[in-house]
A = this chain, B = another copy of it.
Amino acid sequence: MTHYYNGFPQSDRDEKLDMVNVDELEERVKQVMPEGAYYYIASGSENEWTWRNNTAAFNHYQIIPRALTNMDNPSTETEFMGMKLKTPIMISPIACHGIAHMDAEVATQKGAAAAGALFASSTYANKSVEDIAAAAPDAPRFFQLYLSKDWEFNRMVFDAIKKAGYKGIFLTVDALISGYREANLRTNFTYPVPLDFFTRYLGGKGEGQSVAQMYASSAQKIGPDDVRRIKEESGLPVIVKGVMCAEDAYLAIGAGADGVYVTNHGGREVDTAPATIDVLPEVVKAVNHRVPVIFDSGVRRGSHIFKALAMGADLVGIGRPYLYGLALGGAKGVQSVIEELNEELIINMQLTGCKTIEDVKHARIDHIRYTADN
């Protein structure tokens, strides 16, 4: 953390990370990042029940090792909406990567591209979509949209991302206001680095805003008509992000969504919402292969990715772990995190006889219902 933006320290590193698992990065980041920024990342809402259970609930499901499988050298290559990817691991959108690194989303995009993973950048990115695209021109990327109440702003965004070659939109509908995040209240957290789209639209900087203020500028009232309008005005596929039940999967598909994204925003919105892995089967059943399903929240292990795929997800996003990688190692740190998880995934594939990601999607998962804390 040797670079400073207006007094806020940012990492300037670009190096591979030595790690045994991605969990251990959290403690290392805690040592170097300002407290408010650290807890902005490393916390959930209210009592953080959902935050904790997103990860713990993976233990509700057991992977069955398989015998006499007659295969070796499994491959994690996959295809998603026409994009060829080296891994089903996706970089989930997070606001303001500048709290971790001076190169912010530009570095993240480089790291994701090096690892062959899909990158989704946020409406609240520090870096411009043009700079992000320039960081890895041939890599596929998606855009996460916080719809604004102001459609002039929305149109500016659509124009920019289309020109920058983004492949589609994740429309966030699960975080229309900020969840009750106590850590932010305790530290009086505000975004320390300006957010590009706000800077260019407002002529101001967008920094120094609290999370609640940011949310206030975006639309709370979003319905099926908005999905249709965004598709029409942007000309891009729209995936609805924040689907946690069958009803809303139907609603999204009925509204023309090109995919559904199962997430509870990493446990940062409704506390005591179910863990995402516990609702994934219901959503997958409702979707019934009509559109792709993306999954995130709580993923920290290759076995978590394996389970989400085996239970019906097409891509599995990670959040906090890559931001820790970014803070500690820049683009190469992000790449290290993805590759660590991908390596763990490959081991699980070999030991369950899955040669391809398609095989993983048909792997047997049991639900013996151990208690969550085991």
Contact = CB atoms under 8 A, between A and B. Distances in A.
A66 B264 CA distance: 10
A240 B272 CA distance: 31
Given A61-B272, A71-B220, 5 more contacts: A47-B301, A53-B374, A62-B273, A180-B344, A278-B368
Contacts of A59: 49, 272
A269 B73 CA distance: 17
Interface in A360-374: 364, 366, 368, 370-374
A22 B22 CA distance: 34
| Copies of this subunit | 4
A367 B126 CA distance: 40
Nearest to A177: B350
A222 interface: yes
B347 A67 contact: no
Given A21-B182, A273-B63, A303-B272, A68 B347 contact: no
A227 interface: yes
B270 A180 contact: no
Interface in A268-283: 269-274, 278-279
Interface of A: 20-21, 46-47, 49, 52-53, 56-59, 61-73, 173-174, 176-180, 182, 185-186, 220-227, 240, 242-245, 247-248, 251-252, 255, 264, 269-274, 278-279, 301-303, 307, 343-344, 347-348, 350-352, 364, 366, 368, 370-374
Given A221-B70, A255-B68, A271 B303 contact: yes
Nearest to A240: B67
Contact of A222 (B68, B255, B366, B372): B68
Contacts of A273: 62-65
A295 to B, nearest CB: 15
A86 to B, nearest CB: 20
A173 to B, nearest CB: 4
